[in-house]
């Protein structure tokens, strides 16, 4: 039986709290403003799926992750915090 470990990788992430007036990374702001990946509908933020399926709603506390290839994804706080730690 084989054993596997996660490859070391560094990502950028921002924990969403629903407040569009808060300071956020430039990559996130740009993505929201151009409306390609992240879209506001009413007062909710959605991440468009790359395969054209239903968009994901980003809830308060969820992490918006910028992957190494520049693509965006979202993770529940419990999942994100179990997989990643903050670099100092």
Mean pLDDT throughout 66-72?
87
Residues 9-65: tens digit of each pLDDT: 888 999 998 887 788 999 998 988 888 788 888 888 999 876 666 788 999 999 999
pLDDT of 47-61, one tens digit each?
987 666 678 899 999
Total-model pTM: 0.80
Tokens of 51: 């395969």
Domain boundaries, the chain: 17-83
d(CA 52, CA 43): 22
Residue 88 pLDDT > 90, yes or no? Answer: no
Three-state helix/strand/coil letters over the chain: CCCCCCCCCCCEEEECCCCCCCCCCHHHHHHHHHCCCEEEECCEEEECCCCCCCCEEECCCCEEEECCCCCEEEECHHHHHHHCCCCC
């Amino acid at each position: 039986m084989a054993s596997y470990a996660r490859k070391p990788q560094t990502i950028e992430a921002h924990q969403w709290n629903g407040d569009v007036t808060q300071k956020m990374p430039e990559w996130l702001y740009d993505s929201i403003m151009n409306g390609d990946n992240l879209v506001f509908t009413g007062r909710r933020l959605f991440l468009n799926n790359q395969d054209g399926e239903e968009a994901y709603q980003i809830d308060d506390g969820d992490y918006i992750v910028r992957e190494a290839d520049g693509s965006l994804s979202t993770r529940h706080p419990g999942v994100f915090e179990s997989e990643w730690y903050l670099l100092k």
